[in-house]
Structure 1
Amino acid sequence: MICYFCFHCRLLICQLPTVIIVIESLVKNVMIGWMQSMDSSEEQQTGSTTPLDVRLVDVAFERLEEMIVTRQLPPNTMVSELQLSAELKMGRTPIREALQRLRQIGFVEMQPRRGTMVCGTDIRQQLELLEVRRPLEELVARCAALRASDEERRGLSELSKNIRNAAAEGDVINYLRINRQIHEKEVQAAHNGMLTNVMAASHAQSRRFWYQNIQQNKAFDEGADCHSRVLEAIIAGNVELAIDSVRDLMQFLERLTRSTLAEFSNSSW
């Protein structure tokens, strides 16, 4: 008799190096949040500064993330708080906090005496990331199918239509924006705070990879179809179908990644 628990233990051990990165990112995010709350408390007591508007940091983070994903800030580019503050017409404090969050998900690297550098992407790392995502995406789908509210299911239904429309238009930027919304809303519908933190980094890294590769592989329609089937199963509350649809989606993503890797290997000869 095969031990189900042992099988998953072995799977986890195989994926341990990448899992450690995800867990390390989660721990760092928690610590940063705690430190920010302590700083905010101290500022309120001293009255020396105004507590940072968290929403402003979110806006800075989203705009910088999109600039990196769409290669407006290409890999190996050196950036500074002053430069980005002027470009985004925002104060340096939210820019600084946004850069720290981007560092936690592997988008930028802080280099002493040089500044902040935009990190590159790696195809083989994307395959490792998909290994980690697979069981987590299944868990998200399971929880969302069971726990989503009626309002959340209506929102997912709208996103299902939107992703198909974006695919038909062939607009990669709009497609990836909706893709991001889908992942965020699915995780929110799962009602598990730990999943929210863990999945954010992996989804962000995947978006960088797909921006560079999904358009040339003309995979919009198949990708949209896979996402829509996951959404429709969650909306229907069908746990088994949701998990099966996630597996189809992950197989599609792995196939596309391996195809990209093969093309890259052939072109390098």
Structure 2
Amino acid sequence: MKKTGPAKNVSRHKPSSPPDQLLADVAFAQIEEMIITRKLPPGSMISESQLAVEMEMGRTPVREALQRLRQIGFVETLPRRGTLVAGVDIRQQLELLEVRRPLEELVAQVAGVRATPEERTHLLKLAKEMMTAAERGDTKSWIRIGGEIHHAEVYATHNSMLITSMLPIHAQSRRFWYHHIVQNRAYVEGAQLHSNVLKAIAAGDGKRATAAVQELMQFIERFTRSALDTF
């Protein structure tokens, strides 16, 4: 009689679900966009369980995403009430600009030196896309591309500290612009000034990039103060 070896334990693995950290990143991006576009308007209460259902994930990554959003000032935690979408403080935007201005100059200078050929090509592509959106008066695309531009610029520095510092600043800026650009309609001027920065970075011209950033920041400050005057 032929002996048989021990039976092999054949386990049937279920498809693994994404780790909570990855889901938290997804939740962060989605909730951030909801707040920026006012799908979750200022002053509204956020339900972790409802968001988890909408995004088809557990409450743990949603809770972690909300913690990160609290760190950048998008939400507030109220004792015994829950999580509240924070308001947009125009005066705080002016304080933010004081911090942002020198950092933007540094981003442009460093990115101009370290950006890869692929990153330079991408920056030029984004410049064209923003101009097209501006000429069409397409606010949503203008804001979305602006976010992509900020992301591309800071990652082209290949400096983790700059990336960490600039991402929350840019997020606050996008939120402010989404609301106020509709009233001001300064699409084309803003797009042209962004384009000047991107072209200078792509060309590796640090001096021109710095000058272009200074012009852009002057425009942003004027824009912010005009919003303050009508507030």
Q: State which of 55, 63, 77 in structure 1 corresponds to 2:44.
A: 77
Q: Give 1:243's aligned amino acid.
A: T
> Are 1:119 and 2:86 an aligned pair?
yes
Paired residue type of 1:239:
G
Question: Structure 2 counterpart of 1:80, which letter?
Answer: S
Asked if residue 260 in structure 1 is aligned to residue 227 in structure 2, the reply is yes
TM-fit CA distance, 1:166: 1.4
Structure-2 change in CA distance of 1:250 and 1:96 (3 Å): same
Which letter does structure 1 place at the counterpart of 2:56? K
The correspondence for 2:184, drawn from 203, 214, 217, is 217
Displacement of 1:113 in angstroms is 1.7
**2:168 corresponds to which letter in structure 1?**
A
Cα distance between partner residues in 2 of 1:178 and 1:187: 14
By how many angstroms is 1:89 displaced?
A: 2.5
Root-mean-square deviation (CA), in Å?
1.5
What is aligned with 1:128?
95
The structure that has the greater radius of gyration is 2
Distance 1:259 1:67 in 2: 25
Answering whether residue 69 of structure 2 is matched by residue 109 of structure 1, we say no
Structure 2 equivalent of residue 56 of structure 1: 23
Q: Deviations over 1:92-144 (max 9, x none)?
A: 22211111111110000122221111000111111111111000000000000
- How far apart in 2 are the matches of 1:185 and 1:166? 18
Residue 139 of structure 2 corresponds to: 172
Secondary structure in structure 2 of the residue aligned to 1:84: helix
Q: Which runs of 5+ in 1 are unaligned?
A: 1-49, 265-269
Of 156, 162, 165 in structure 2, the residue corresponding to residue 189 of structure 1 is 156
Aligned length: 216
Aligned-partner Cα distance in 2 for 1:76–1:171: 27
SS in structure 1 of the partner of residue 183 of structure 2: coil
Tell me what 1:95 maps to. 62
Separation in 1 of the partners of 2:21 and 2:66?
14
Residue pair 1:145, 1:235 contacting (<8 A) in 2 also: yes
* More helix, by proportion: 1
Shift of 1:201: 0.9
Alignment-mate amino acid for residue 223 of structure 1: G
For 1:226 and 1:256, the matched residues in 2 are separated by: 13
* Alignment partners' CA distance in 2, 1:173 and 1:87: 22
Give the letter aligned to residue 138 of structure 1.
E
CA distance in 2, matches of 1:161, 1:94: 36
Provide the secondary structure at the position in 1 that maps to 2:225.
helix
Q: Is the 8 A contact 2:20 2:60 kept in 1?
A: no
Residue in 2 aligned with 1:199? 166
* 1:225 Cα offset (Å): 0.4
Q: In the aligned structure 1, how far is the partner of 2:27 from the partner of 2:139?
A: 22
**Aligned equivalents of 2:155 and 2:142: distance in 1?**
20
Tell me the alpha carbon deviations over residues 207-241 of structure 1, each in whole angstroms, 9 at most, x when there is no partner.
Answer: 11111111210111011001100000000000000
Contact (CA 8 Å) 1:60, 1:94: kept in 2 or not?
yes
Match of 1:242? 209
Indicate if the aligned counterparts of 1:52 and 1:94 stay in contact, CA closer than 8 A: no
Distance 1:165 1:58 in 2: 30
CA–CA separation in structure 2 for the residues paired with 1:122 and 1:247: 23
Runs of 4+ with deviation above 6 angstroms: none
Measured in 2, the distance between the counterparts of 1:262 and 1:112 equals 34
**How far does residue 54 in structure 1 lie from its aligned partner after superposition?**
3.1
